[in-house]
């Protein structure tokens, strides 16, 4: 194979990965998350956020609140990113915001349940406990390292009314309905996934369309590749129409509505409904099944329209739409670049290499699991069968946990997006700490699997925490000394 054909195959892999991602994960997962982030920014008083997650909030409140928020809201890493951007912009301290960012996708309730069923409850419980402990730990470390930046943000924004700030009942109801759209569209339970009727559209050739899509975007389920269905192709087309109409209708929506605004909102509502149904192409046409998911999304959207029209003034709704569009413009292009890059890199990394390097519970083996999680990011739940595959190939359970810890947290697209929100320096420091703690989590769990006494492991962990705390205390003391010296010189 010549170099030109090989490059063409890599590009095809990147485009196929991007098409699969857009078709399967953007609509019912990411779009509602953008609207939630926009509502947090436009409708929730900054003081209400800083009251619980701000730098000056008691640590015993802010960090558990951030962890709980991540647990409640998380669907996948792409969902948590716009929500993280929303609370950080509204004044959340860097530490609690980082805890929210880490814990959310790490302890996704669906992924934890699936992990327990497919691989074992021991690794699911280890993933849950270590994610919470290390998520809070990383947040505290980041807050200590960048406390001056946090103090400057707090001084510039101010939170004088944080003690008495409240979120209005109408805003809570509106946010709740947005979360219903998010949860109804993504939660895999029988009530939502079951079909309650269907129609057949007599569109000839849909089976051939599906076959053509499989040829254009070949996939291998054992490697987490999802391909593109006929329904996915329809959704990608609708997504492109949304992009065009939103560009003309939402760019200046804070100044007023226009025809394109209503076209964009109508297309968004239609697309969410199309994403919520189940489609089966066949020789005679296209079967469309009306799922509980579709009815849940439809009811929530109707109630949102009613609450928004009845209880909010026009400018508040315009601000909500403008903030949502701003997040889309900031985050979505980076997401596309990251997903495409992952698709290009995927064929270059062979699973057999990982098995050879991570067959035992060594530092290298666990670090390889972390690196694999970064460069071979898979959508939520897909990482579990991939982990099962590597377990069958002989990967040690320690490196396997390191991979499961890192995969939802660190991917090329999430690193790019996080850097755009908090800055490149902070983002890469966060990446280093996540990689370190994920490797440590794998080593600890792997040592327990290999028979190391739990008391001994606890002693090692406490010693490591003590050394880390001592180092951070030394950094903080030196910083205070330098600040005092600068103050005397002035």
**Shortest CA distance to 100 belongs to which of 114, 85, 111, 89?**
85
Which tokens go with 213? 């899509």
User: Is the pLDDT reported for residue 354 higher than 90?
Assistant: no
* Residue 380: per-residue pLDDT: 56
Are residues 214 and 227 in contact, defined by beta-carbon separation less than 8 angstroms? yes
**407-421 pLDDT, tens digit each:** 777 777 778 888 888
Give percent of the chain with pLDDT exceeding 90: 13
Q: DSSP state, 312?
A: S
User: Is the pLDDT reported for residue 227 higher than 90?
Assistant: no
Q: In what order do the strands lie in the sheet with 195-201?
A: 195-201, 285-291, 278-282
**What is the pLDDT averaged over residues 245-257?**
90
For residue 287, the SS3 value is strand
**294-351 pLDDT, tens digit each:** 999 999 999 999 999 999 999 999 999 998 898 788 777 867 776 777 677 767 767 6
DSSP per residue, 39-105: HHHHHS-HHHHHHHHSTTS-HHHHHHHHHHHHHHH-S-HHHHHHHHHHHHHTT--HHHHHHHHHHHH
* Residue 167: per-residue pLDDT: 76
Placement of tokens 């943000």 in the chain: 153
**142-190 pLDDT, tens digit each:** 888 888 777 777 666 544 435 556 778 898 899 889 888 877 877 777 8
* Residue 160: per-residue pLDDT: 43
> 13: pLDDT confidence band, cut at 50, 70 and 90?
confident
- Average pLDDT over the chain, rounded to an integer: 79
Q: From CA 369, how far away is CA 488, in angstroms rounded?
A: 49
Helix axes 314-345, 412-422, angle to 10 degrees: 140
């Amino acid at each position: 194979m010549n170099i030109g054909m090989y490059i063409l195959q890599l590009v095809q892999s990147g485009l196929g990965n991007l098409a699969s991602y857009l078709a399967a994960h953007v609509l019912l997962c990411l779009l509602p998350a953008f609207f939630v982030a926009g509502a947090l920014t436009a409708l929730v008083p900054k003081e209400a956020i800083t009251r619980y997650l701000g730098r000056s909030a008691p640590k015993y409140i802010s960090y558990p609140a951030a962890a709980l928020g991540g647990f409640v809201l998380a669907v996948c890493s792409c969902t948590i990113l716009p929500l993280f951007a929303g609370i950080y912009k509204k004044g959340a301290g860097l530490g609690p915001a980082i805890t929210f960012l880490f814990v959310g996708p790490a302890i996704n309730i669906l992924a934890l349940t699936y992990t327990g069923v497919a691989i074992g409850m021991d690794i699911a419980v280890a993933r849950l406990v270590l994610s919470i402990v290390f998520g809070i730990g990383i947040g505290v470390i980041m807050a200590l390292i960048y406390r001056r930046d946090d103090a400057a943000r707090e001084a510039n924004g101010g939170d004088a009314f944080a003690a008495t700030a409240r979120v209005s009942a109408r805003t809570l109801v509106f946010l709740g309905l947005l979360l219903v759209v998010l949860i109804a569209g993504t939660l895999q339970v029988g009530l939502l996934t079951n079909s309650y009727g269907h129609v057949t559209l007599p569109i000839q050739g849909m089976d051939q369309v599906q076959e053509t899509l499989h040829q254009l975007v070949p996939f291998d389920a054992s490697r987490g590749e999802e391909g593109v269905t006929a329904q996915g192709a329809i959704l990608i087309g609708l997504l492109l129409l949304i992009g065009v109409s939103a560009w003309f209708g939402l760019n200046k929506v804070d100044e007023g509505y226009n025809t394109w605004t209503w076209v964009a909102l109508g297309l968004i509502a239609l697309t969410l409904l199309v994403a919520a149904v189940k489609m089966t192409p066949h020789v005679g046409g296209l079967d469309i099944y009306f799922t509980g998911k579709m009815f849940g999304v439809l009811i929530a959207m109707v109630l949102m329209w009613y609450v928004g029209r009845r209880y909010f003034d026009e400018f508040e709704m315009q601000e909500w739409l403008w903030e949502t569009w701003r997040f889309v413009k900031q985050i979505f292009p980076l997401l596309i670049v990251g997903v495409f890059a992952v698709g290009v890199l995927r064929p270059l990394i062979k699973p057999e290499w990982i098995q050879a390097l991570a067959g035992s519970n060594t530092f290298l083996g666990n670090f390889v699991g972390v690196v694999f999680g970064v460069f071979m990011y898979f959508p939520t739940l897909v990482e579990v069968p991939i982990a099962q595959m590597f377990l069958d190939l002989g990967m040690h359970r320690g490196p396997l946990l390191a991979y499961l810890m890192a995969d939802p947290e660190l991917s090329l697209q999430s690193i790019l997006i996080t850097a755009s929100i908090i800055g490149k320096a902070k983002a890469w420091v966060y990446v280093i700490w996540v990689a370190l703690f994920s490797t440590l989590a794998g080593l600890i769990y792997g040592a327990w699997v290999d028979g190391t006494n739990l008391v001994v492991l606890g002693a090692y962990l406490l010693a490591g925490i003590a050394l880390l705390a001592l180092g951070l205390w030394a950094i903080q003391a030196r910083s205070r000394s330098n600040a005092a010296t600068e103050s005397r010189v002035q």
